[in-house]
Amino acid sequence: MAARTATTASVTSSLLVAAALSAGCSGGGNNTSSAEQGEPAGTPALSRAQAEQVLASYSDRANQAARRFNGTALSTIEADPQLSMDVAALKFRRAARQRAPKVEFTPTAYYIPRLTGYPHWFASAVVSGKGKQTLQYAMLFTQAREGAPWLLAAAPYSGEDVLNRVALAPDGTATPVRPDADGLAVPPERLPRAHAALLTEGPRASGAALLADGAKTSETYKALQQGEKTLAGRGVTLSSRFSTTPYGVYALRTKDRGALVWYVLKQNEAYSSSKPGALTVGGDLLGLAPARAATTRMDTTVLVQYLATVPPKGRAAVAAMYRKAVAVHGS
């Protein structure tokens, strides 16, 4: 669809499912770091050996689901938002008649926090691909309650290992950071709203100054503005709005006493045109609806996962992301 060329600067369909395969990022709850309590708190979510088993099992079953275009199988290893994003990626591949190549995820480190309650969670730095195709994933797994399965909760990616900034205690565990933690440039729970405001309203929006300029913040906003102008010249009107989601945030303490924060935004795009044939379902929307589902109006829903670094002072910087359109409605 021509209209999709106007989306953010990071509109890429390379994701874990698209590369092979890669869920519900909920808040940090009442988990409090030992540094914030002044003494060790909680117990490790699981052992390193168990974390290795979780990742190995996930990799095997994700590749099986990708080979069979089986979105139902993903529900046993993922939860929203990752599940909806990867099911949409499978639909894209099926419609495009592209088989996902087998991908092996190579873990480089595990970050297991001490927690006082559920959900239990941990992160793993994972490498996929070779050469120029190499990507570094910050995979987040969660367990909703005792005895529940471990599910992939998020997998933002970039060209660098962002997780190597996480601080480790002498026993090798990581320190969780509360969503409302102070002592940071911005509490983790405020990041989603600030980021959504920046992408929707621009750098003068309330809270936008909390985020540093970059490809996933100010440059994305500029790209969207330029895209709207380009489409207007083709007789297509586009409006885009970002908002927070119910998936909450997860955060780990970094070596500089800052935090790494996972969070999710929703982007709603509305396209309209009086020109016949101007709106068609294609690009990264392929597989979500019939090509001619829209005639004069099309609304899309996109989920975007982010991983941001928050220093003790200064501005937060977005270091990794995973973006996927998950729904299309036309009229």
pLDDT digits (tens, 9 = 90+) for 29-46: 434 433 443 334 789 999
Span of 192-201, 291-300, 312-321 with lowest mean pLDDT: 291-300
Q: Which residue has the higher pLDDT, 280 or 193?
A: 193
Take residue 23 and report the two structure tokens written for it: 């869920």
Position 9 confidence tier, pLDDT thresholds 50, 70, 90? very low
Query: What b-and-e string marks burial along 233-256, b requiring 16 or more CB atoms within 10 Å of the CB?
Result: eeebebebebebbebbbbbbbbee
pLDDT of residue 96: 84
What are the tens digits of pLDDT across the range 260-282?
999 999 999 999 988 777 787 77
Q: Which two tokens stand for residue 298?
A: 């099309």
| Listed ranges 4-8, 90-94, 257-261, 279-283; the one with the highest mean pLDDT | 257-261
Give the Å distances, CA to CA, from 239 to 11, 128, 272, 290, 300. Answer: 16, 35, 9, 22, 11
Q: Tell me what pLDDT residue 163 has.
A: 97
DSSP 63: H
CB atoms under 10 Å from CB of 161, counted, come to 17
The answer to whether residue 172 scores a pLDDT higher than 90 is yes
Q: Give me the pLDDT at residue 279, please.
A: 81
- pLDDT at position 158 is 94
- Give this prediction's pTM: 0.87
Handedness of CA 299, 190, 26, 59 (dihedral sign): positive
Percent helix, strand, coil in the chain (nearest 5)? 30, 30, 40
Nearest of 147, 207, 141, 167 to residue 309 by alpha carbon: 167
